[in-house]
Structure 1
Amino acid sequence: MTEDMAVTTGNEDAPVIALVDDDRNILTTVSIALQAEGFVTRLYSDGETALKALIENPPALGVFDIKMPKMDGIELLKRVREQVALPVIFLTSKDDEEDEEIGLEMGADDYIAKPFSQRLLIARIRAILRRADPIREVIGDSSSAVPAAVNEIARGRLNMDPARHHVTWDGKPVSLTVTEFLILEALAARPGVIKSRNQLMDAAYPDDIFVDDRTVDSHIKRMRRKFRSVDNEFSSIETLYGAGYSFNDG
């Protein structure tokens, strides 16, 4: 594949996932994994090549590397979002925390740090597609057939709909990434019970061994900021120093 070539493979009736990364090995291995799960893949080795194609023929979801020549993932997200409401997952390096913050503030749906578990990426893709269109069945994912009302979580002013990864506080929507949703779900499942960072990492990253403590802290920090944007007195996610976090629904 040359730098200016896009490749489309897979079942044409399946959701299309656009992969944008200058690492050819990642493009190849992730594409093979997604095709094995029934997805269609389109591959782009730089942001400039991807931009026009993503706008003219939007996929169901994009997976963008942050660090790329010609046009990085953050600029690509910005340019695409000017024209298309495309769900996006960032692939980042461990030292890209500032870029992650910028990307998430711009509306990226989630990020996964390299090196990463392909099973984790596929699970995130399915979750985001369910959230974007909960009625459409996401291929290979039996959980998408579960009615939303069965799994709804109501804790005081918090309401969570796992089938759509949808969250409200006092009836106001709070836009969380899939990772943030899973961490909050683990906390809200048992109000008042302290969850260690390791327990929260297991909830959000069941197949990913490349996660450190500060990752959970960063997600908690962002979640609090998002809830405080709709309620500046929000304090239901509590820090128990040296122990972990808990959710207070009082």
Structure 2
Amino acid sequence: MKNVLVVDDDPTVSEVLAGYLQRAGFAVRRAADGPTALTSARAHRPDLVVLDLMLPGMDGLTVCRELRSHGPLPVIMLTARSDEEDRILGLEVGADDYVTKPFSPRELVLRVTSVLRRAGTADAAGPVLRAAGFDVDPAARRALHHGRELALTLREFDLLCYFLRHPGQVCGRERLMQEVWGWEFGDLSTVTVHVRRLRAKIEDDPARPCLIQTVWGVGYRFDPRPEDAAHPDERP
């Protein structure tokens, strides 16, 4: 049974979410503020956190940063704001997904299930991927670049694996959302933010990316450097 920590200062929202998640087979803990959430997460490491952006005392962005500083942990951000800047801020600090209030509890459960499925099984059966200085083990969810271990979020790791498996191909944001996120629809700015975050971690100069290139009006293309093979080497 997967453990989910729900962090929201609205007791009605928290209770409804907990009820839906429990009926879906999850074990649920609840917290009404940031410090309580961090204490709970340290005492009982959750498999995923549903985290409200607007919390008393310590906002959700700060809580998310603190949670992720202790290792990879899937986070779904809740926000009552529809402003794109707020959604992007959540993704920038490492949230794997976000849901805007008001929302359907059933949709939230589907998002939780999707994120956990990606965290637990996505790419797990694939071989090690090697190209452009990368050594990525999908089963261990470990990525090295020129021998340096990369600290990647769930989606960043999956995105890197996808690019490594499709070198030289132009991938539109819609395709990436379907193949990496497993969604048929959604806010495409989610893809844009994650590509930007991934570039910041793997490019020598993120402002002038060489590995993940933008194909204007179409999407992105992963180009291994000329001295590397055109296709990733795979070994058992």
State TM-score, norm by structure 1. 0.68
How much is the aligned-residue C-alpha RMSD, in angstroms?
3.5
TM-superposed CA distance for 1:43, in Å, is 1.6
CA displacement at 1:40 relative to structure 2: 1.3
Letter in 1 for 2:110: R
Give the equivalent residue in structure 2 for 1:152. Answer: 128
Which residue number corresponds to residue 42 of structure 1?
A: 29
Aligned counterpart in structure 1 of residue 98 of structure 2, from 112, 116, 127: 112
1:66 shift after superposition: 1.8
Residue among 208, 216, 219 paired with 1:241: 216
Q: Is 1:63 matched with 2:53? A: no
| Secondary structure of the corresponding residue to residue 171 of structure 2 | coil
Give the CA deviation at 1:80: 5.8
Query: Counterpart in 1 of 2:231?
Result: none
CA shift, 1:89, in A, is 0.8
**Mind listing any 5+ residue stretches in structure 1 that lack a counterpart?**
1-13, 131-142
Question: Are residue 176 (structure 1) and residue 152 (structure 2) matched?
Answer: yes
1:12-91 matched pairs, under 5 angstroms: 14-24=1-11, 26-77=13-64, 87-91=73-77
Distance 1:98 1:211 in 2: 11
d(CA) in 1 for partners of 2:124 and 2:158? 18
In the TM superposition, residue 192 of structure 1 has moved relative to its aligned partner by: 0.5
Q: Of 192, 195, 217, which residue of structure 2 is paired with 1:220?
A: 195
Are 1:100 and 2:100 an aligned pair? no
Structure 2 gaps, min length 5: 226-236
TM-score (norm 2): 0.72
Instruction: Report the number of matched residues.
Output: 216
Q: 1:180 to 1:119 in 2, by over 3 A?
A: same
Distance (whole Å) between structure 1 residues aligned to residue 127 and residue 20 of structure 2: 29
